[in-house]
Structure 1
């Protein structure tokens, strides 16, 4: 009963989050606590929707989650922080909740050039670069939006919100892809986009020296990269889209082989060869 009452009183504010967060910092510094909190949250989200409980990544995330929760002193306070994140983005999706907290706590890494673009600027950029979404969806079936230095996801969040305002079903027709060199920051982006119901994935890795490869629906994880797939990307609509893409690719390959064979036959004179065989 008390837990239910407490859940009802959560307002989703930064003040609530910071109060609980600072309680976890009594014996450790803010960066250590933030790292464990974000890691535990990301691992929990990823494993809750991973259909394959036997894969290596699933087991590694389970182990990482358990270690983080142990260092955080139990699951109660991290669970409250997660509830606040959910409520904050539910009440006001047009914000970079974790990114703003990260900068407010002075956790930004200046060696990696971390300075998160304010959300209102990201919103403006999303408006002026939107393009013909309807036309692209009609032509390709979906569109993808990629941020090569995604940070906590403000630019991608703004793109999702603007698509929503334009009455686009971004969950079914827009694929959100981000990459960042910083693992914790990339996880922050993953958490926020997942909670907002976006479909896509985040790649942890250096965009300049180790860019993503493969088709946008089938990214290839390389050495030095780590992929985090959003829950919505595992939904049926995207699973079917990947399946249809495979079928289309197989059909295209078959057609290409047939065309190559036709070109060969164009230079093969059957009558001449038959005559030569008859003489023999």
Structure 2
């Protein structure tokens, strides 16, 4: 059974321009919500300009400006429920209106299932968070972000703030569901980066940091600092080994060794 706020949200979609289907209105709404939130969170001026232009392009899709004025009311409904936790709001709304494409492997996973999976996967994270201050989460097929919401809820139940103690890297291939995932993860107050791309080919089409990302960085620094330092050390070791090999090849030792074995 759908959450009552989701039901109210879906009913609101029927009040829009009849030349567009509910799915079209929902898709445009999610894109506008993404642009509005990502623009405020972006540290890059060129990205902010691009998001503003993208937002205005969506606005022009509604000749009746009353439709545009309804958007903030719907946004308020969604953000209030998402921030309160315990529901995959956009995932449930998309399932209600038939916006998920099974041909792309898009299926709605009930929040209760995601919550159970999160609890089983995470266990007790207190020791890890107390040791390094945070945990990192990788979600290679984020969908509408339902699994990330469940993870945030589990972490919060254990007494930790998702904005300070989680860093999420969430990837979603579909542009429409990428927008849904970003808005939900951002509204839930989770720090991280949401990427529109392919986890298998590593192609990236778009990406945006959540509003909680700056506070996370201020408290914890870069989430992958240890991995980056390990990579730098490995690169330095490899460079030193290559130099040593070149030195040995230039020395008379290889020729002397060959002479012994001939």
Give the TM-score, by structure 2 length.
Answer: 0.79
Describe how 1:1-280 pairs up with structure 2 within 5 A: 13-53=5-45, 55=46, 57-72=47-62, 73-74=64-65, 75-90=68-83, 92-208=84-200, 210-211=201-202, 222=203, 224-235=204-215, 237-238=217-218, 241-242=221-222, 245=225, 249=229, 253=233, 256=236, 260=240
Q: Distance in 2 between matches of 1:245 and 1:150?
A: 24
- Deviation, 1:180, is 1.4
Q: Indicate the SS of the match to 1:23.
A: coil
More moved, 13-22 vs 112-121: 13-22
Unaligned runs of 5+ in 2: 248-262
Alpha-carbon distance, 1:111 to partner: 1.5
Distance verdict in 2 for CA 1:255–1:81, change over 3 Å:
closer
Unaligned runs of 5+ in 1: 1-10, 212-221, 268-280
1:218 — aligned with what? none
Contact 1:199-1:231 within 8 A present in 2 as well: yes
User: Does structure 1 retain, via aligned residues, the 8 Å contact 2:152–2:190?
Assistant: yes
Deviations 1:200-246 (A, max 9, x none): 111111222x23xxxxxxxxxx5x43112111012264576029939
Deviation readout 1:33-55 (Å, 9 max, x if unpaired): 122111110000011122333x1
- C-alpha deviation, 1:30, in angstroms: 2.1
Q: Secondary structure at the match of 1:13?
A: helix
Measure, in 2, the Cα distance between the counterparts of 1:207 and 1:254: 25
Aligned equivalents of 1:12, 1:85: Cα separation in 2: 11
1:13, 1:88 within 8 Å by CA — same for their partners in 2? yes
Q: 2:24 is paired with a residue of what secondary structure?
A: helix
Matches of 2:29 and 2:61, distance apart in 1 = 10
TM-score normalised by the chain length of structure 1: 0.75
For 1:255 and 1:207, the matched residues in 2 are separated by 25
Shift of residue 134 of structure 1? Answer: 2.4
Q: Is the 8 A contact 1:164 1:170 kept in 2?
A: yes
**Offset at 1:119?**
0.6
Moved over 6 A (4+): none
Other structure's SS at 2:122 match: coil
Secondary structure in 2 aligned to 1:129? Answer: helix
Does the 8 A contact of 1:12 with 1:85 survive in 2? no
CA-based RMSD of the aligned residues comes to 3.1
